Amino acid sequence: MESAVSLRNLVKTFGEHRAVDGITLEIPRGILFGLIGPNGAGKTTTIRMILDIIRPDSGEVAVLGMPAGEMVKDRIGYLPEERGLYRKTKVLEMLEYLGTLRGASPSAARKEASAWLDRLDLGSWKSRKAEDLSKGMQQKVQFIGAILGKPDLLILDEPFAGLDPVNQNVFKDLMLELNRGGASIIFSTHQMDTAERLCKEIALINRGRIVLNGPLSQVKSRFGKNSVLVEFEGDGAFLRGLPCVARVDDYGRYREVRLIDGANPQELLQAAVGRVAVRRFEIVEPTLHNIFLEQVGGQAADA
């Protein structure tokens, strides 16, 4: 089966700035795929090229086995990062319009939108204007707009940004449900814990290039089991001075210590025991968060 999305040597420059600098990526069908990276890394530009909203300077984009463009647009649901609603338009009318733009007839689009609104507890808001809705309700309406017409591919740009925990859960459950129903889902995020919990595969983009790519488990094992969670009482400043330590991330209650390659965690334990009262010492896989920080470093793109 062909990929959900296949990108070859994708390049896009805006003036002097190379927003996407030679991205090659295969996104398999039927999975939840996470596109992660710092702000300004080129995630949104890549997504826009997949949707044929902007054209690449060079390179190829294939979506669901077809070149990106008119033919395949109806099969993609898209929730952009910058999303809004017509403020003066009634909710159901708005969704009906979005449904018709994906090829449905007005009456069919209306029926489907109406069913979704009922399901997400917005049934009584159908004939209210968008501006009367709370922010959380508007986000639900926008999400419905993206999934109308049962798209084969769902692309969500920062779907969880600005959501309260309740809506985060609603969105997450819907994404999983649609994915089980056969839809391929690509979403971009810089919330690493979300990506870690949901994605089967990820691609880490930085400065317009793919830094890491593959199934999450492979990506993590590539970094080995050389991270240690340490919880202790006392001054932890000494950790940074130890020869076996590559980097230290302070989470307040505990610290995640990444060791240099080949170092023995026992060295760290011995050094620590002499200086502080250790309460917890656990050898773990690095979190995606840590891998991200390590790869992107302190020098994330400034945009």
The one segment of 66-74, 169-177, 199-207, 265-273 that binds other proteins by CB under 8 A:
66-74
Nearest to 256 by CA among 236, 227, 234, 277: 227
Size of the site for other proteins (CB under 8 A): 30
- Rounded to a whole number of angstroms, the minimum distance from the CB of residue 21 to other proteins is 20
Q: How near is the Cβ of 32 to other proteins at its closest, in Å?
A: 19
First to last CA, the chain: 37
Residue 106 makes contact with other proteins by CB under 8 A: yes
Query: Using CA atoms, how far apart are residues 111 and 186, in angstroms rounded to an integer?
Result: 27
Taking CB under 8 A as the rule, does residue 251 contact other proteins?
no
User: Contacting other proteins (CB under 8 A), which of 87, 222, 225, 280?
Assistant: 87
89 binds other proteins (CB under 8 A): yes
- Is 162 a residue that touches other proteins (CB under 8 A)? no
Among 11, 31, 54, 301, interactor with other proteins by CB under 8 A: 54
Q: Does 243 bind other proteins (CB under 8 A)?
A: no
Residue 97 as a binder of other proteins (CB under 8 A): the answer is yes
Please identify which residue in 3, 13, 24, 100 interacts with other proteins, judged by CB under 8 A.
100
Output 87 or 197, the one with its CB closest to other proteins: 87
Least separation in angstroms between residue 102's CB and other proteins is 5
With CB under 8 A as the contact rule, the residue among 37, 38, 56, 145 that binds other proteins is 145
Question: Where does this chain touch other proteins (CB under 8 A) — which range of 16-24, 92-100, 120-128, 252-260?
Answer: 92-100
Q: How far is the CB of 34 from other proteins (least distance, A)?
A: 20
d(Cα 290, Cα 228) in Å, to the nearest integer?
12
Measured from the CB atom, is 89 or 213 closer to other proteins?
89
Q: Which is nearer to other proteins, 52 or 256 (CB)?
A: 52
Report the alpha-carbon distance of residue 48 to residue 20 in Å, rounded.
11
Is 49 an interacting residue with respect to other proteins (CB under 8 A)?
Answer: no
CA distances from 264 to 12, 236, 246, 260 (A): 44, 19, 12, 9
Binding range to other proteins, per CB under 8 A, among 98-106, 165-173, 246-254, 261-269: 98-106
* Separation CA 27–CA 210 (nearest Å): 13
Q: Is 175 in the site for other proteins (CB under 8 A)?
A: no
List residues binding other proteins (CB under 8 A).
48, 51-54, 70, 73-74, 76-80, 82-87, 89, 97-98, 100-103, 106, 142, 145-146
